[in-house]
Amino acid sequence: MNSDAIEISGSGFRYSALVGDGSMAKAGEFARKVMSGNRCAIIADETSARLFGDRISESFTAEKFSPHLVRIPAGEKSKSLTQVERICDELIEAGLDRSSFVVGLGGGVIGDISGFVAAIFQRGIPHVQIPTTLLAMVDSSIGGKTGVNLDAGKNLIGAFHHPALIIVDVKALESLPPKELRQGYAEIIKYAIIRDAEMFRALSPRTQSKNGFVALIRRNIAIKARIVSADVREISGERALLNFGHTVGHAIERATDFKIPHGDCISIGMVAACDISTKRAGLSSQERDDVVALLKRFQLPTQLPAEVDRERVVAAVVHDKKFLGGKIRFVVTPRIGEAHVSNDVKMEDVRKGIAEL
């Protein structure tokens, strides 16, 4: 097994992301190095519990931990305060206390809800992330954002609660269907657009070797780690760059009741962001077309399905957390490899961008 640690640090936090092939088998051993308490809850959706639950539980038990597996339904609708309350009740019944910790085993939904539970249970206990999807490995497991949804929008209830450890095992990707893998590639393409023109040019949907996946995941984690460290709580604007494509993407999710997968929505949202960038940030039409072509090569959608009500998407945009004082802060790209937050984008620009999808 080859596990290379990426250190993620900032004001008040420091933790490692271990990326390797076969890391799950040693999850308990890795956790023992940073955890003192013995009781833990492994929160997983039904799929992750079935595929990896026994393996992780056995690994923790071998290191004298007492794990309790908590299963929740798969999907975005599990990110609710009702589900959080149910999980917390189960943790109490299982005997967890302030010396315990939470393990999130699954994709981005699990990372968000398990992290939020860890942030509020007994006023905060440690959190270990074991992401099992490409999207979670390269994006949502890093940075300490946790949260659940309200009817009004995504992640409107949450807390910053950095994990104590992230364990990434590329072997988990073998269980993912192509549709799931492409969700992660949407975020990888996002990172390339905002920070890594060289990676943008090198990206190809050809089959990745395990070593290739390890290198690609490490490269993307390193990008996010640098951005998060520079702007931990999304105050200076640096961290907001991670939301490229997400203003419209999140609105599509909400307008379609989360029927379109997250990465697909972000892909469509990035097309809108590029169209807006050509008008407001000087992005060339050639580079806009290059983005669309790359998304298509990864089988990612670049247009809204005809049946989606564009006005519902527009209406959903105003609930986005990136509106401050009623003013939109929209992430634009002037050229591939760079991005910044613009206050020049008007609601009419967003409306036109959505209408053209």
What domains, with CATH codes, occur in the chain?
A: 4-174 (3.40.50.1970), 178-355 (1.20.1090.10)
Which letter does DSSP use for residue 207 in this model?
P
Q: In angstroms, rounded to a whole number, what is the distance separating the alpha carbons of residues 178 and 185?
A: 11
Q: In angstroms, rounded to a whole number, what is the distance separating the alpha carbons of residues 133 and 140?
A: 10
pLDDT tens digit string along 61-85?
999 999 999 999 999 999 999 999 9
Does residue 322 carry a pLDDT above 70?
Answer: no
- Give the residue-averaged pLDDT of 87-111: 97
H/E stretch holding 329 reads: none
- Give the residue-averaged pLDDT of 11-22: 92
Which token pair is 154? 């995504």
pLDDT tens digit string along 230-265?
877 766 678 889 999 999 999 999 999 989 999 999
Q: In angstroms, rounded to a whole number, what is the distance separating the alpha carbons of residues 259 and 255?
A: 9
Kindly report the pTM of this predicted structure: 0.91
Higher pLDDT, 319 or 118: 118
Q: How confident is the model at residue 1 (pLDDT cuts 50, 70, 90)?
A: very low
Does residue 137 carry a pLDDT above 80?
Answer: yes
Does residue 327 carry a pLDDT above 90?
Answer: no
Phi, psi of 340 (to 5 degrees): -155, 165
Note the pLDDT of residue 196.
97
Q: In angstroms, rounded to a whole number, what is the distance separating the alpha carbons of residues 63 and 259?
A: 40
Task: Give helix 310-317 / helix 347-355 axis angle, nearest 10°.
Answer: 150
Q: In angstroms, rounded to a whole number, what is the distance separating the alpha carbons of residues 180 and 176?
A: 6
Percent of the residues in the chain that have a pLDDT greater than 90, as a whole number: 79
- Give the residue-averaged pLDDT of 342-349: 90
- Give the residue-averaged pLDDT of 150-161: 89
CA 10 to chain centre: 19
Does residue 87 carry a pLDDT above 80?
Answer: yes
Nearest one of 274, 278, 351, 261 to 315, comparing CA atoms: 351
Mean of pLDDT over the chain: 92
Which token pair is 302? 């670049």
Note the pLDDT of residue 96.
97
Task: Give helix 310-317 / helix 246-255 axis angle, nearest 10°.
Answer: 120
Q: How confident is the model at residue 207 (pLDDT cuts 50, 70, 90)?
A: low
- Give the residue-averaged pLDDT of 278-297: 97
Other C-beta atoms closer than 10 Å to the C-beta of 203 total 17
